[in-house]
Amino acid sequence: MSKTIHCCIDIRGVLRWKDRDLRGMFAYQNGQKLSGKEVREVLYDELAKGRKGIPMGEPCEGFSYDTGCPGHGQPEQA
């Protein structure tokens, strides 16, 4: 059986990046991308909530903000 693991972002690791590298990582609902400074504020807000990581996209079933995706078994194809 194979296993699918969804990606997530380590918040403390990404906070080491320069603002220019953070620019556009997130967007408002209207599609406007956040500046590097705005992304940094979002990440600090997530840390304040006690989160270590955030999912890339919608959280999968069983996602933990401490340990990430637990992995999901996939049946072997014949």
Alpha helices in the chain (DSSP H): 11-14, 19-22, 36-48
**Cα gap 55→3, rounded to integer Å:** 17
The domain segmentation of the chain, as residue ranges, is: 2-59
Q: Is the model more confident about 2 or about 48? A: 48
What one-letter code names the amino acid at 36?
A: G
Confidence at 42, pLDDT banded by 50, 70, 90: very high
**CA end-to-end span of the chain, whole Å?**
11
Does 1 score more than 70 pLDDT?
no
Angle (CA) 45-35-15 rounded to 5° is: 45
Tell me the whole-structure pTM to 2 decimals: 0.79
